[in-house]
Amino acid sequence: MNPVTVQNLSYRYPGQSAPVLEKVSFTLDEGEIAGITGPSGSGKSTLLRLLAGLEEPECGVIRIGGQIVADERRSVPPERRGVGMVFQDYALFPHLRVADNIAFGLHRRPRRERRDRLAQMLELTQMTALAGRYPHELSGGQQQRVALARALAPAPALLLLDEPFSSLDAELKGGLREELGRLLRQARITCLLVSHDRSDVRAICGRELALGGSAGDDDAAARRIVDSVRVCRGKAGDASQQAGRIAESSQ
């Protein structure tokens, strides 16, 4: 039972003739951290938006946690999909303190649970001391940790990260990559990360899914997830073999 299964997913933006994604298929394993790479404009962000429920697919099926969240007929709204998302620019609420940002998605839970979960998330991301600050009073790396804590707080089945390092400078990035990888493994969450930089993916992810799309490629094939089953960490070995099969079967 895979927590995330995507089959023959196609999408085009309204009013556009060419599809952004065409027949994309892949699966993720429980607790797997996978990375999507691809050139700019290849549809990486679009794929994450489809998984999160911010866009509805043209055709194809998305299953998250055993439940069909999107197919031709239905589309489950984002809040009931059990996904968390870290946006490219973090999208922290500027007028809320760190603690309130993190607790934003917990407002329906009982107060006690909310408090415990908040404390747990602050501790996980080592933000306890800064819980009373506003986002503009934080460094880029701290903002990223807050965004991560906010996405993880409601305990989603799947975590999506869009270009988590794009707004950080190269020097900061090195250390943060390690730290993010450690945090994600510690949180034991199934995770899909997008980056245009393959070294990010190699540093953090167990598997790389390449989204093609360079102009020269054959059209249909280019928009699928083509290949790239790369093992970066011993842990993810099994997953990679399986993914290889799935990637091939989607061709």
Interface mask toward another protein for 95-134; x: CB under 8 A: xx-------xx-xx--------------------------
List of residues 6+ apart from 176 with CB closer than 8 A: 141, 144, 165, 168
Examine residue 43 and tell whether it contacts ligand ATP (CB under 6 A): yes
Q: Does 93 bind another protein (CB under 8 A)?
A: yes
Angle between helices 140-152 and 111-124 (to 10 degrees): 140
Question: In the bound complex, what is the minimum distance in angstroms from residue 237's beta carbon to Mg ion?
Answer: 29
What sign has the CA pseudo-torsion 107, 112, 115, 117? negative
36 lies in the binding site for ligand ATP (CB under 6 A) = no
Torsion of CA 140, 145, 150, 154, to 10 degrees: 160
Binding mask 140-179 for ligand ATP (x = CB under 6 A): ----------------------------------------
Show the site string, 45-74: x = touches Mg ion by CB under 5 A, - = not.
Answer: x-----------------------------
16 binds, options ligand ATP, another protein, Mg ion, none, Cβ within 5 to 8 A by partner type: ligand ATP
Considering only CA atoms, which of 250, 246, 251, 212 is closest in space to residue 229? 246
Q: Is 20 in the site for ligand ATP (CB under 6 A)?
A: yes
Q: Strand pairing partners for 225?
A: 211
Is-contact 246 26, C-beta < 8 A? yes
Placement of tokens 């500027």 in the chain = 94
DSSP state of 12: -
Please report, as ranges, the residues that interact with ligand ATP according to CB under 6 A. 13, 16, 20, 38, 40-46, 196
Please report, as ranges, the residues that interact with another protein according to CB under 8 A. 52-54, 77-79, 83-85, 87-89, 91, 93-96, 104-105, 107-108, 150, 154
Please report, as ranges, the residues that interact with Mg ion according to CB under 5 A. 45
